[in-house]
């Protein structure tokens, strides 16, 4: 069978399974999640075995250390998958929830019911645990899904897929509700993102290159974020201790993540106090500083930032720093350079905090908290299937809510329009 035919078949099966799963009651969906968790626990030796094949192949193909690390399924990571499944099972079922059901002057009742989107296509890179996170969220939200992991994790993903199939079958749900693409042929991605008849939304997870390509070529709506150029603004009325803790955590807690701070903005008024302390701490961590002229005059070890720096997501121990006059300049800078992912203000000023929250147009806007909190687990979504910096549909970490939509329901008693 050729790839086009194969993907068409997955699509047809997913559409059919989606109809089934959309009707499944919460108990059965939760049972499936727990049965999958049990299968993962029971088959952990097999998972490790298959994962070692991927690791071996990855080494032979010259994967870098970071990629090999992401690829590895350690016992702790297998246990985390099991825990993740249990957490999603414990979440409230979003499907069928009816809100705002009100009587209208005509006598009809109008409300909104939360319903599954249908079929979700997810395309991701090396981390095999995404297979479980994505399957669990799609299942709980009543969607079928087609998962396309990276070719470097094919054995791990197929072993996980076997556990998912087993769990679905044991719960009496169609095994085609979660399908993991079996071929590593790259053409499968091209097919998946154009299966308009069978797939309702595509969620790409991975590097910017992958996501840009998918966004450009997909004929199906895509939920995505491209960049995480996140800002922290230390206002003139910031508490110095909080400012230092947040600016340090936002940059150095992890470097290669989308919610790490890439640019630090500091009010001129407080820069002399806070910047030398921060510069020393960044130096201890080996963070390279690239600053505006004023920054460089305050910090010896900073080099001059270029225009390109303000546009750059470093994903590395590098930080750009700009000293601004006030919140107006800070917000103007953010509006111009931010990728609309996550921005934070550090301030004790009530009025400025309120303004920042309202006026900064990003998927997450924070006061006195580290940008690193922009995450589905931290927000209480149970897990996240991705982060959206688009404005339509879902913004920020995408959990169960983003995998559903609201339809209108109308209840009458023979009502007709006058």
Residue numbers at the binding site for its own copies (CB under 8 A): 19, 22-23, 96, 102, 104, 106, 108, 110, 113, 115, 117-118, 200-201, 221, 239, 241-242, 245-246, 248-250, 253, 335, 344, 346, 357-359, 361-370, 372-374, 378-380, 390-393, 395-397, 405-417
Nearer to its own copies, 179 or 249 (CB): 249
Angle between helices 44-60 and 75-90 (to 10 degrees): 120
Residue 131 Cβ, how far from its own copies at the closest point, in Å?
24
Nearer to its own copies, 90 or 410 (CB): 410
Instruction: Look at phi and psi of residue 124 and say left if phi exceeds 0, alpha if psi is from -120 to 50, else beta.
Output: beta
Residue 51 Cβ, how far from its own copies at the closest point, in Å?
28
Residue 359 Cβ, how far from its own copies at the closest point, in Å?
6
Residue 337 Cβ, how far from its own copies at the closest point, in Å?
14
| Number of C-beta neighbours around residue 239 at 10 A | 15
Nearer to its own copies, 209 or 380 (CB): 380
Residue 130 Cβ, how far from its own copies at the closest point, in Å?
21
Distances (CA, A) of 386 to 235, 283, 333, 403: 31, 32, 26, 11
d(CA 366, CA 354): 10
Residue 72 Cβ, how far from its own copies at the closest point, in Å?
23
Residues written for the chain? 418
Nearer to its own copies, 36 or 232 (CB): 232
Q: What is the DSSP letter of 222?
A: B
d(CA 96, CA 400): 13
Would you say 300 and 326 are in contact if contact means Cβ atoms under 8 Å apart?
no
Nearer to its own copies, 63 or 344 (CB): 344
Residue 391 Cβ, how far from its own copies at the closest point, in Å?
5
Nearer to its own copies, 250 or 305 (CB): 250
Residue 251 Cβ, how far from its own copies at the closest point, in Å?
11
Angle between helices 154-170 and 26-42 (to 10 degrees): 130
Nearer to its own copies, 157 or 371 (CB): 371
d(CA 296, CA 291): 6
Would you say 237 and 352 are in contact if contact means Cβ atoms under 8 Å apart?
yes
| Number of C-beta neighbours around residue 272 at 10 A | 12
Nearer to its own copies, 19 or 77 (CB): 19
Residue from 398, 405, 404, 403 nearest 379 by CA: 398
d(CA 275, CA 19): 57
Q: 388 by DSSP, 3-state: which?
A: strand
Nearer to its own copies, 72 or 200 (CB): 200
Burial-class residue 398 by CB neighbours within 10 Å (0-12, 13-18, 19+): buried
Question: Tokens representing 294?
Answer: 């004023």
| Number of C-beta neighbours around residue 304 at 10 A | 11
Nearer to its own copies, 62 or 414 (CB): 414
Residue 19 Cβ, how far from its own copies at the closest point, in Å?
7
Residue 245 Cβ, how far from its own copies at the closest point, in Å?
5
Q: Whose structure tokens read 């500091």?
A: 266
Would you say 118 and 15 are in contact if contact means Cβ atoms under 8 Å apart?
yes
106: CB partners within 8 A, 6+ apart: 415, 417, 418
Residue 127 Cβ, how far from its own copies at the closest point, in Å?
19
Nearer to its own copies, 191 or 200 (CB): 200
């Amino acid at each position: 069978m050729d790839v086009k035919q194969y993907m068409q078949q997955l699509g047809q099966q997913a559409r059919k399974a989606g109809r089934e799963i959309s009707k499944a009651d919460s108990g059965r969906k939760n049972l499936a999640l727990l049965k999958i968790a049990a299968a993962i626990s029971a088959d952990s030796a097999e998972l490790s075995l298959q994962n070692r094949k991927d690791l071996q192949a990855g080494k032979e193909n010259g994967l870098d250390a970071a990629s090999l690390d992401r690829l590895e399924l350690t016992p702790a990571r297998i246990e985390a998958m099991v825990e993740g499944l249990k957490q999603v099972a414990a979440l409230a079922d979003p499907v069928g929830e009816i809100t705002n059901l009100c009587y209208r002057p005509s006598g009809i009742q109008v409300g909104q019911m939360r319903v599954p989107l249908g079929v979700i296509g997810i395309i991701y890179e090396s981390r095999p645990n995404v297979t479980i996170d994505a399957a669990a969220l799609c299942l709980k939200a009543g969607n079928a899904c087609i998962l396309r992991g990276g070719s470097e994790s094919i054995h791990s993903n197929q072993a996980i897929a076997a556990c998912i199939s087993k769990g679905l079958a044991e719960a009496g749900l169609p095994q085609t509700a979660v399908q993991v693409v079996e071929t590593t042929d790259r053409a499968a991605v091209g097919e998946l993102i154009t299966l308009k008849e069978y797939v309702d939304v595509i969620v790409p997870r991975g590097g910017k290159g992958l996501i840009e390509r998918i966004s450009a070529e997909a004929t199906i709506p895509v939920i995505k974020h491209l960049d995480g150029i996140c800002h922290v603004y230390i206002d003139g009325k910031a508490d110095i201790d909080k400012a230092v803790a947040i600016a340090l955590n936002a940059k150095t807690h992890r470097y290669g993540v989308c919610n790490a701070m890439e640019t630090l903005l500091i009010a001129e008024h407080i820069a002399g106090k806070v910047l030398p302390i921060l510069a020393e701490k960044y130096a201890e961590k080996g963070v390279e500083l690239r600053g505006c002229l004023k920054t460089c005059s305050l910090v010896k070890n900073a080099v001059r930032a270029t225009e390109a720096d303000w546009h750059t997501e470093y994903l590395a121990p590098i930080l750009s720093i700009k000293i601004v006059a006030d919140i107006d300049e800070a917000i103007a800078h953010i509006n111009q350079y931010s990728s609309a992912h996550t921005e934070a203000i550090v301030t004790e000023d009530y009025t400025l905090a309120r303004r920042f929250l309202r006026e900064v147009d990003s998927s997450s806007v924070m006061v006195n908290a580290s940008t690193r909190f922009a995450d589905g687990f931290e927000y209480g979504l149970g897990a996240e299937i991705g982060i959206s910096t688009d404005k339509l549909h879902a913004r920020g970490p995408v959990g169960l809510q983003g995998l559903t939509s609201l339809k209108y329901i109308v209840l009458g008693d023979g009502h007709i329009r006058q």
